[in-house]
Structure 1
Amino acid sequence: MNKLCRKCLLEDMDETDYFRRLKNYISAYPQEKRADGEEYSRRLEICRSCEELYDGMCRKCGCYVELRALKKESRCAAVPDKWQSGG
């Protein structure tokens, strides 16, 4: 069994069936409900530097951060205004 990186996102992990399903969900999520690509990337960079990120999940709320960051109307569970422009 491979040990997962504490600061990894799903895109960084091995292609197990479970993670493949999550990635497929992300790929199939409707475009009109997604944050734009630049915003999604910005959110993920914030998550990568957060102490609450562990194995692709937020320890504050239990979500997979890539799913939460994908959704246009989502907010950071740890600090609700963290994802607002400017941090």
Structure 2
Amino acid sequence: MDKKNALRAGALAAGTTLMMLLMSSPALALTRDDGDDPGNGLSVIETLGLYVALPIALFAIIAGLVMVLDRSHDRQDSTSRNIDVKA
């Protein structure tokens, strides 16, 4: 029963992907539309900065703020890990 469902899901995913590839026509990307006015392209450094360095920096800033502003370490639960047991 699981093999049949997996085969059905795989066929559906493959069919959907194939239809999406057939419906999108990259050949039309070469044809300019009326009023199309693209700007100057980005350099390699600008592209890397915009799509690699900036997301990493934003992630680091957000993670740092979460770690600094986290107040859960002030609160201690009374678990066996926090209780000193002296025998």
- The structure showing larger relative contact order (alpha-carbon pairs under 8 Å, at least 6 residues apart) is 1
Q: Greater helix share, 1 or 2? A: 2
Q: Greater strand share, 1 or 2? A: 1
TM-score normalised by L of structure 1:
0.19
TM-score normalised by L of structure 2:
0.19
Larger Rg: 2
